[in-house]
Homo-oligomer: A and B are copies of this chain.
């Protein structure tokens, strides 16, 4: 397996599909521009790649998971747009570019987010899969992105600003705010493949460990990184008085935790033939420097 090639191929497939969505955009041009600005801003596409690769691992064609993959990336993108708003995290930079509301204004940024979130479910319901699988996908993604998942996590995150949270509280926030969507990526891939419940649970468990490792690495990079590399203000968590595990337990302990979690992720899938890509992906994400 050529990891780099497969990663680039997957990224290209996702990119082309997202570009097609923006090109065939059915609403007002100004809205399409604002949605496209954030959707096509060169993210790593980790979440949709997880969808495609888990689907492939369990014997599905990655194309049949593509609507799920695009929907997930659209929901991830909407959450970044809304999180960056002045009334939320008030960020000016995202992926090295001005945030959506800096370019298009607050009203358009709210609507671009709403549009991406809504269109995601349209796309999901129009795939080539049997209706039962699409329905399960819709429910899975809505629960992960909704009040008990990502939206709820953002509420807890904002509520926790300015006070020191305990490690379990930080874990809970990150599980909801970031982890839920990464776990949903794995589940969506499994659902698209028509996998067994055991396969879906293994993939979900892999994604939970990978998601936690990913988030801790993100927090380490926030402290260590340079603005140019990360494309966002360094130390922005500190500035907003956000509690992170890194502030609480220090970088060495967190580095160790990333390693343990990554081993746990790999262990979940190692027994499945063809899991090399996903195992390598977990290891690469653990070691990433941006």
Q: Does A162 contact B (CB under 8 A)?
A: no
Q: Is A108 on the interface with B (CB-CB < 8 A)?
A: yes
Q: Is the CB of A158 within 8 A of B107?
A: yes
CB distance from A176 to the nearest CB of B (A): 8
Cβ contact within 8 Å between A111 and B151: yes
Binary per-residue interface labels of chain A (3-32) against chain B in the complex, 1 for a CB within 8 Å, 0 otherwise: 000000000000000000000011110111
| Interface check A62, CB cutoff 8 A | no
Q: Residue A143 at the B interface, CB < 8 A?
A: yes
In the complex formed, the residue of B with least CB distance to A138 is B125
Query: Per-residue CB proximity of A195-210 to B under 8 Å, as 1/0?
Result: 0000000000000000
Residues of B within 8 A of A152 (CB): 26-28, 31, 115
Q: Which of A116-124, A219-227, A265-273 contacts its partner? A: A116-124
Question: A87: which of B105, B130, B131, B136 is its contact (CB, 8 Å)?
Answer: B105
Chain A residues 90 to 124 lying within 8 A of chain B, measured CB to CB, are 105-108, 110-111, 113-115, 117-122, 124
Task: Give, as a whole number of angstroms, the nearest-CB distance from A15 to chain B.
Answer: 20
